[in-house]
Amino acid sequence: MNKGSFTVSTSSKMEFVDITSKLEKEINAADVQGSVCIVYNPHTTAGLTINEGADPAVQDDIITAFQKIVPMNHPYRHMEGNSPSHVMASLTGSSVTVFIESGRLNLGTWQRIFFCEYDGPRTRKVHWRLI
């Protein structure tokens, strides 16, 4: 199969969840040697990003920086009260693209793929497709 989806559960209002291993398992089952993998998040208050995965402080730093960039107490007009989450999701984006080489994600030495929760805790879905 060259496409699929999986769930990601979060336990905090804001957190980055490393989904690299989950995605690698899905790709290994697809048994493809060379391809392009598109990972897509269909949620408006969560994002996806590729960044350093060796030091968890990096993810904490990104969240802290986003909280400084995006004011929590701004007089947003969206009535649900989660406008900062929508803004942060726009900053990270809803998809990432990674080359597949020799059946593996072609990430840099320190790179990992993160699901970025901005309005949790929740259970979310992530879709992937090989092209």
Interval 48-88: pLDDT, tens: 999 999 999 999 999 999 999 999 889 999 988 899 999 99
Query: pLDDT-based confidence at 1, cuts 50/70/90?
Result: low
Domain boundaries, position 9:
3-130
**How many angstroms separate the CA atoms of 105 and 99, rounded?**
6
**How many angstroms separate the CA atoms of 24 and 28, rounded?**
6
Alpha carbons within 13 A on the beta-carbon side of 89:
20
**How many angstroms separate the CA atoms of 119 and 37, rounded?**
26
Q: What is the pTM of this model?
A: 0.95
Domain holding 114: CATH number? Answer: 2.60.120.460
Number of structural domains (the chain) is 1
**How many angstroms separate the CA atoms of 113 and 118, rounded?**
16
Query: pLDDT-based confidence at 31, cuts 50/70/90?
Result: confident
